[in-house]
Amino acid sequence: MQNRNRDNAPALINTTVPAMSSSFDRLLHAKRRSAADVAADVKSGERLDYGFGLSQPDAFDAALAQRKTDLRDVIVRGALSVRPRQVIEQDPEQRHFINENWHFSAYDRKKSEAGLVSYVPFNFGEAPAIYRRHLSVDLVVLKTTPMDRHGYFNFGISNTYSRAICDVAKRIVVETCPAMPVIHGVENVVHISEVDAVIEGPDVALAEVPGAPIGDVDRQVADFILREIGDGACLQIGIGGMPNAVCSAIAESKLHDLGVHTEMFVDGMVDLAERGKLSGRHKQSHPGKIVFTFSLGSKRTYDFIDGNEICLSLPVDLTNLPQQVALNRNVVSINNCMQVDLSGQVASESNGHRHVSGTGGQLQFVRGAYMSEGGKSFMCLSSRYMKGSRPASRIVVGLEPGTVVTTPRTDVMYVVTEFGIANLKGKSVSERARAIIGLAHPDDRDALYDAAGRSGLLGRRFI
């Protein structure tokens, strides 16, 4: 097997390929194997990679789980699982498989709480370099489109770091899926000449993740943010009810000539495109294109991006690294978070030691937006949540021990709740504390003010 590590250089398309489609067809015929046959080659102690989100294989996963009694200490790495992983379901004592995960879905979180999945911390945009510089992979199995007439398998809906895994993997296997959209992009394919085996997966629909419903609190938050967005802005919008509400508000607004340079293509962006809001003409990076690294949502979204030439799928280092974000002017970054403390620290991925999601690209887009000329970043949260049967404040004096700081207070710009918006840049600790208390639910403000005074956050003048 050739060494695909390119000394950290960007992965290039393999140009030493057969010249005629008939040659590609012969290679495809020679490399077709069943999922069981591919799973039979896995050895104890090997490191396997399933890729990200909708790239994770299903037929191979089931076949590998059937071999569990033959195997020990097989590491299986993945991220954002959209269907149950059989290497987890069929090995509840984790005697045979060790499951690692870069970013939790609701399913992954549940399995982590059962002790079956271990989170791997990272900034999403660093993933390609992490693979090329630090990780070894014995076998990667990725769900892709069927081979095209040029001999390429398209990574489809999850470009992310797929090419980087292929560059370092000792063996590459693709599990084809006829329902996978073909997405135009960069580093978004692997060639039949590089592939060791092709599993023809079943023709089943891709998993859909419906958008979170939009409530009154979400609409109030969106209204505050909408006032800060100008014509020609370049948008990064995260997942959740509040970002969805911002998309909805923009769609109904008079804003125009907006661009998109984002991590995740969400359902609300289809509305913006169909309303004629996304010309992208003022973007400096890939003008006119809707740029993203993966998508997860409804079939309507999958159909929109399939073969759509205005959509451009890039590897995650080209979407998320701050210097790439900042190539565009007037970047607007909008993300959800779970808690904010009175100094401005933002927690978006854990509640104490209970891990909920992941760092993802939040911090990198916050930094990239601030580096952008005219850029702004927004941290959105409701002022309260239900803790059991009682409401609890998301605005806290200090974060609970074990809670991970996703975005440091030094990086936070705007914080937004249904009760207002505050820009923390340039504010002292006491000024921040007073501004953030003003975003809390009115019934929580007195207790926060008293606790802040006792903690010395307000200074002597304000006690």
Reported as a single tens digit per residue, the pLDDT across 263-274 is 999 999 999 999
pLDDT of residue 275: 95
For 356, the 3-state DSSP assignment is coil
Give the strands of the sheet with 118-119, arranged side by side: 118-119, 97-101, 74-79, 47-52, 137-144, 169-176, 197-200
For the chain, domains (ranges, CATH) are: 21-200 (3.40.1080.10), 216-462 (3.40.1080.20)
Q: What does the pLDDT look like over 346-376, one tens digit per residue?
A: 999 999 999 999 999 999 999 999 999 999 9
Please, where are the H alpha helices in 171-266? Answer: 216-226, 241-252
**Other CB atoms closer than 10 Å to residue 428's CB: what's the count?**
9
The whole-angstrom distance between residue 95's C-alpha and the CA centroid of its chain comes to 30
Q: Looking at residue 13, what is its pLDDT?
A: 45
Q: Is the pLDDT of residue 299 over 50?
A: yes
CA torsion, points 306, 309, 315, 319, in degrees to nearest 10?
-120
Q: What angle do CA 42, 357, 391 make, to 5 degrees?
A: 150
Structure tokens at 132: 């090329």
Instruction: List, for residues 372-405, the tens digit of each pLDDT value.
Output: 999 999 999 999 999 989 999 999 999 999 999 9
Contact, 347 vs 405, CB < 8 A?
yes
List the catalytic residue out of 46, 175, 194, 263.
Answer: 263
Q: What is the pTM of this model?
A: 0.92
pLDDT tens digit string along 49-107? 999 999 999 999 999 999 999 999 999 999 999 999 999 999 999 999 999 999 999 99
196 CB burial (10 A radius; 0-12, 13-18, 19+): middle
On the question of pLDDT at 14 being above 80, the answer is no
Pairing of strands 137-144, 47-52: parallel
Task: Tell me the per-residue pLDDT of 198-243, one tens digit each, with 9 for 90 and over.
Answer: 999 999 999 998 877 889 999 999 999 999 999 999 999 987 788 8
**What is the residue-averaged pLDDT of the chain?**
93
Above 70 in pLDDT, residue 4?
A: no
100 catalytic per annotation: no
